[in-house]
Chain A
């Protein structure tokens, strides 16, 4: 596999469920990101990790819990979500956080909270 992969591609969960989204990058990058794309709203940055350390939490509710065990993997653990959390969740990676480095995005996980 090449690039940035995300699993699952689609997820339906109830408000009391616990689930996890997985992202893997095969590019040797050091920075990884979670973004949220809600219907008719711009992409919003949620979390940033640099060399496995979280460097940004964009005021994200605690029901979203990221984990970065190594530079190639990024998880987003979900629990007690609300229907308004239904969105496309996109993972991205880059060589570093410098604006000279482009970000590579995965295809996203389409999440529906019922």
Chain B
């Protein structure tokens, strides 16, 4: 299975943009890039996903490199509520494969937001 590499931790100030990087150099053409986050004492929550094009939603933006070997989750204005562990996950879209659709979590990036 393709793996992702993320920094262990990052820090930001409130109301500033945050760029969370993710490397996935062995990504296959059928892997979707998903981001989830886990706030303290809660289950993970979906943030955003994409395949090739950049994506925007109400929570964040996802910038995907042209070669798809890396991506960046962008929080445009960090708030204290954004302090969480952020997971970058590749999800296989090959129907019938043993890893089809699986969410395989790594260690993620711990984001600290300072007031």
Contact = CB atoms under 8 A, between A and B. Distances in A.
B46 A107 contact: no
B106 A42 contact: yes
B44 A43 contact: yes
Contacts of B108: 42
B60 to A, nearest CB: 13
Interface size class of B (residues with CB under 8 A): 20 to 34
Contact of A99 (B41, B92, B105, B107): B92
A108 interface: yes
Nearest to A105: B43
B104 interface: yes
A46 B56 CA distance: 32
Interface string B41-53: 1111110010000
B105 A42 contact: yes
A97 B32 contact: no
Q: Is the interface of B mostly helix, strand, loop or mixed?
A: loop
Given A42-B106, A42-B107, A43-B105, A97 B44 contact: no
Nearest to A97: B101
Nearest to B41: A107
B42 A107 contact: yes
B46 to A, nearest CB: 4
Contacts of A99: 32, 34, 49, 91-93, 100-101
B106 A45 contact: no
Contacts of B106: 42
A45 B101 contact: no
A102 B37 CA distance: 12
B102 interface: yes
A2 interface: no
Given A42-B106, A106-B43, 14 more contacts: A4-B43, A42-B107, A43-B44, A44-B105, A90-B44, A97-B101, A98-B101, A99-B34, A99-B92, A100-B32, A101-B101, A102-B46, A102-B49, A104-B45
